[in-house]
Amino acid sequence: MKVNIKNKVVTKMLLGLGAVAFLSGCINDQSDKKYNDTVEIPVNQEMMAELTAPPFVPTPVGKRMAKKLIVDLEIQEREGEMTNGVKYIYWTFGGTVPGSFIRTRVGDEVEFHLKNHPDNKLPHNIDLHSVNGPGGGAEASFVAPGHEKVFSFKVLNPGLYVYHCATAPVGMHIANGMYGLILVEPEGGLPPVDKEYYIMQGDFYTEGEYGARGLQPFDMQKAINEKADYVVFNGHVGALTGDNAMTANVGEKIRLFVGNGGPNLVSSFHVIGEIFDKVHVEGGDLINTNVQTTLIPAGGAAIVEFRVDVPGSYILVDHSVFRAFNKGALAMFKVNGEEDKRIFSGEIRDDIYLPEGSVIQSMPTSGTSKPKEEMKAVSFEERMKFGKDKYMATCAACHQPDGKGIESAFPPLANSDYLNADVNRAIDIILHGKTGEITVNGKKYNSVMTAQALSDEEVTNVLTYVYNSWGNSKKEVTPEMVQAVRNK
């Protein structure tokens, strides 16, 4: 019997296309059914939404029924501090950057009350990425100072979503802090964890350079050029360090709701010393496991979960690391509990390693340029104030706002025997840098301190502040002392 190979192939192709069409129809039917089911979820009661300021989040929805959820949110334009001595006029949802955290579940009918405080100067609105409707609610919520707009929407899709102002110029409103997160939990809620926190990255653009004191206006040209002066978590440098650090206990499971307000920069979110057990990619249903760093686009979000196994200080960063250590994208987790040497031993020994011989190497310094002088302090009190400002802008990321340093990484400046033993050595380290092992308060540190581009006045202010803080020797450093070391 003769077989027509060509006809046989065509028949198989047609059958295959039919199967694809059948499967596609089934998938579409299931998708439509899920959509229709969500739309038809009834609401059985009215309740006020619990709104929280970062880094805290509202109570999980658990297994509650869908509700008519009343969200009452006020826009505030208010002055805040970007870092010590640097003031900025933030535009906010709820008085904080990021704005208040909103927690809902699928099927909720949200009645949104957006109020623009009468003392504000500008109209605003809100675009919620969780909304299915024109502008995400922006068109319905455009509100002038002293007015209130009300609109409603049905929550259809579970996930973690960004909201932001969408009033023109949109980029300026976002860049001034007008963003936040809204969580839509699935029916039955998210699985329980021990601790939940709310973190959001943003990039800021000021007329003055990083650390320049005083009230700093927004710089539109820098924003257009994407040249951020500050890249921070939760609105300002140090928002989640020192006394404001997040906390946990060994063995606890942590869930972080992480957003990126932008307006421009992508975030490479990473926790130093931890691996994410689960990442809800872009805040949706797709879950990756065993993740080291997760990419969060501007206007996007992610849910990350991990268990903390050993105690210590864990640093959270945008792994575009100059943003972390030089522009402010750094936070801290303090974990308490018993050590587990099976998981992490700490330092076992310190051996000598000289692959290139015993020549002592040092970081290069130009020695040719002298940084410009800042405004000079006229009193000890003013020197302490200027010194604290410069310390928080330049030194706090590594040595911490309280001077306690970071275990095994950056030595403490608080009550430091190494610092107090030789003021000229301290001056020299700031001017020319330091590499190699040192012992501070009985513990060894082996890292690099790069030379700092500071003027004599700035070095004087910083060291006077350090020496007169945290139990140190109360020395007062003078510009003449700094000049003498510089001229050696």
Count CB-CB contacts under 10 A for residue 118: 9
CATH 2.60.40.420, domain 196-336, yes or no: yes
Sign of CA dihedral 399, 240, 267, 81: negative
Report, as an integer, the average pLDDT of 87-108.
97
pLDDT of res. 27? 52
pLDDT of res. 427? 94
Mark out the alpha helices in 88-233 (DSSP H runs): 138-141, 170-175, 220-225
The upper half-sphere exposure of residue 81, i.e. CA atoms within 13 Å in the direction of its Cβ, equals 10
pLDDT of res. 360? 42
State yes or no: pLDDT of 467 exceeds 60: yes
* H helix or E strand, kind and range, residue 5: helix 5-39
As a dihedral over the C-alpha atoms of residue 206, residue 210, residue 214, residue 220, rounded to 10 degrees, the angle is -10
pLDDT of res. 14? 42
Beta strands in 7-158 (DSSP E): 46-48, 68-83, 86-93, 102-105, 109-116, 127-128, 148-154
Report, as an integer, the average pLDDT of 191-213.
96
Least-confidence region, from 158-162, 179-183, 361-365: 361-365
Q: How confident is the model over 36-76, as pLDDT tens digits? A: 677 878 888 999 999 999 999 999 999 999 999 999 999 99
Q: How confident is the model over 245-256, as pLDDT tens digits? A: 999 999 999 999
Assigned token pair, 278: 């689960």
pLDDT of res. 433? 86
**Cα separation of 50 and 44, whole Å?**
18
State yes or no: pLDDT of 19 exceeds 70: no
pLDDT of res. 151? 97
Per DSSP, the three-state class of 93 is strand
**CB of 136 closer than 8 Å to CB of 95:** no
State yes or no: pLDDT of 18 exceeds 70: no
Model-level pTM? 0.74
Asked if 46-187 and 380-486 have one fold, the answer is no
Q: Give the residue, 139 or 2, on which the prediction is more confident.
A: 139
pLDDT of res. 357? 41
> What is the rounded average pLDDT for all residues in the chain?
88
State yes or no: pLDDT of 29 exceeds 90: no
pLDDT of res. 452? 85
Residue 443, strand partner residues = 440
Report the relative pairing of strands 46-48 and 109-116 from DSSP bridges.
unpaired
pLDDT of res. 215? 96
Q: Give the residue, 103 or 368, on which the prediction is more confident.
A: 103
Report, as an integer, the average pLDDT of 268-297.
97
Q: How confident is the model over 356-365, as pLDDT tens digits? A: 443 344 455 5
State yes or no: pLDDT of 373 exceeds 50: no
**Fold designation for 46-187:** Immunoglobulin-like (2.60.40)
What percent of the chain is predicted at pLDDT more than 70?
Answer: 86
Domain ranges of the chain: 46-187, 196-336, 380-486
State yes or no: pLDDT of 116 exceeds 70: yes
The CATH superfamily label for domain 380-486 reads Cytochrome c-like domain (1.10.760.10)
Report, as an integer, the average pLDDT of 331-351.
84
Instruction: Write the CA distances from 215 to 34, 169, 232, 242, 457, integer angstroms.
Output: 52, 22, 18, 24, 22
349 pLDDT band, cuts 50/70/90, is low
